[in-house]
Amino acid sequence: MSLPSLVLRSATPDDRVCIGAAIDAACGCPEACLIVQRLSGTPSAMTDRVFRFPEWCIVASYRGRAIGHISCWQDEMLGLIGSHVVLKAYRGFGVGAGLLEEMIRRARAEGLRLLEAVLRTPLTRACRLYERRRFHETALESDDGWIRYECRLDGPT
Ligand SMILES: CC(C)(COP(=O)(O)OP(=O)(O)OC[C@H]1O[C@@H](n2cnc3c(N)ncnc32)[C@H](O)[C@@H]1OP(=O)(O)O)[C@@H](O)C(=O)NCCC(=O)NCCS
């Protein structure tokens, strides 16, 4: 099932409040909260970091409302997925997958060689989403629940 008239676009400063609220809400899930802590410390620090590079944040807009986003932090030829959140009411419609596919497309177009993501078990749905979009598990960091994924962008599509 998909949402008709869903638009994927770059973030603008006007999205900051919505994106900050979505990151806050995602922290209701302990595993997502640990990802935020690991990457940025706090939800508001993560939002600040997203808006330092808004061109690397893609927003899913439905009927004029920002219902999801994905962000990435570029380090030379590498992109690290920062946050990837869809509002609860809109999950299961392919929005999260569409955002990830668009990020892969843009990263490739910008000449990045690799996209990375760190996830935690038991975020089974998120892990499956990444695995089905050409991300491979590269490291299971001991037994503490962290999984590092990467997607090579310099090979065939
Ligand atoms: C992870 C997340 C972004 C996925 O967004 P979404 O819009 O629900 O994702 P999609 O609808 O594209 O579905 C993704 C996959 O989950 C499956 N799925 C959807 N609804 C499901 C459900 N209720 N139960 C199980 N699987 C489901 C889909 O079939 C799809 O599988 P596929 O890749 O094999 O086709 C969303 O769940 C979320 O915001 N989670 C909280 C934050 C988080 O954990 N982010 C990831 C780490 S940063």
Would you say the C-alpha torsion 46, 51, 52, 53 has a positive or negative sign? positive
Dist CA 123 CA 29 (whole Å): 10
Going by pLDDT thresholds of 50, 70 and 90, the confidence category of residue 142 is low
The answer as to whether 25 is a domain residue is yes
The answer as to whether 157 is a domain residue is no
The answer as to whether 1 is a domain residue is no
* Mean pLDDT in residue range 137-157: 82
Q: How far is CA 152 from CA 35, 63, 104, 116, 119, in A?
A: 22, 34, 10, 9, 17
Q: Percentage of residues in the chain with pLDDT exceeding 70?
A: 97
Q: What is the enclosing helix (H) or strand (E) of 96? A: helix 95-109
* Mean pLDDT in residue range 127-154: 86
pTM for this prediction: 0.94
The per-residue pLDDT for range 8-26, each reduced to its tens digit, is 999 999 999 999 999 999 9
* Mean pLDDT in residue range 66-71: 98
Domain of residue 115 covers 6-152
Going by pLDDT thresholds of 50, 70 and 90, the confidence category of residue 145 is confident
The answer as to whether 46 is a domain residue is yes
The values of phi and psi at residue 145, to 5°, are 95, 0
CATH of the domain at 82: 3.40.630.30
The whole-number pLDDT of residue 140 equals: 66
CA of 86 to the centre of ligand 1 (A): 8
Mutational pocket test of ligand 1: of 47, 91, 118, the residue with most ligand atoms within 8 Å of the beta carbon: 91
Number of domains in the chain: 1
Give residues (CB < 6 A) around ligand 1: 26, 29, 32, 35, 83-86, 91-97, 119, 123, 125-126, 128-129, 132
The answer as to whether 72 is a domain residue is yes
Mean pLDDT of the chain: 93
The answer as to whether 83 is a domain residue is yes
The answer as to whether 56 is a domain residue is yes
Dist CA 24 CA 2 (whole Å): 25
Ligand 1 atom with the smallest distance to the CA of 129 is 33
